[in-house]
Amino acid sequence: MNASLKLIETKKEYQAALNRFQSIFHAKAGTDEAKEAELLALIMENYELKNIQIPEPDSIEAIKFMMEQSNMNLTDLSSLLGNKGNVSKVLNRTRKLSLEMIRNISKALHIPADILIKDYTLSA
């Protein structure tokens, strides 16, 4: 195992750790390389949590993504939004989600309500 493992403090150190992790990712369980990969993953996660900001998903994009993942079609979504007109208006960003829509979508598609209630700009 690599005795020089330490906390990552710079982008350069992070990139080096990532390169090393990728090279030993498929190490056989129980080997020194597998143990090193596990430690590197923890060290890299620590750096990522402190230094890499991942933006929260856009409400409408989250709905589209989860529809795709759930094999849901527009007709299925219309049952959650009230009718097909609402589906078109919401997905085309000409109508905001109502509280009832947010509740229905959150429950059916397992999207946290805090993502769905985020404000977004309507199209003209």
Provide the residue ranges of all domains of the chain, joining segments of one domain with +: 11-51, 59-116
Please tell me the pTM assigned to this model: 0.59
- How would DSSP label each residue in 46-57? HHHHHH-PPPPP
Nearest to 17 by CA among 53, 54, 42, 34: 42
| pLDDT tens-digit map of 21-45 | 999 999 999 999 999 999 999 999 9
Element (H, E) at 79: helix 74-81
The CATH classification of domain 59-116, taken from the options 1.10.260.40, 1.10.600.10, 3.60.9.10, 3.10.20.740: 1.10.260.40
Give the chain's largest Cα–Cα span.
Answer: 62
| pLDDT tens-digit map of 49-70 | 999 887 878 999 999 999 999 9
- Cα 17–55–94 angle (5° rounding)? 155
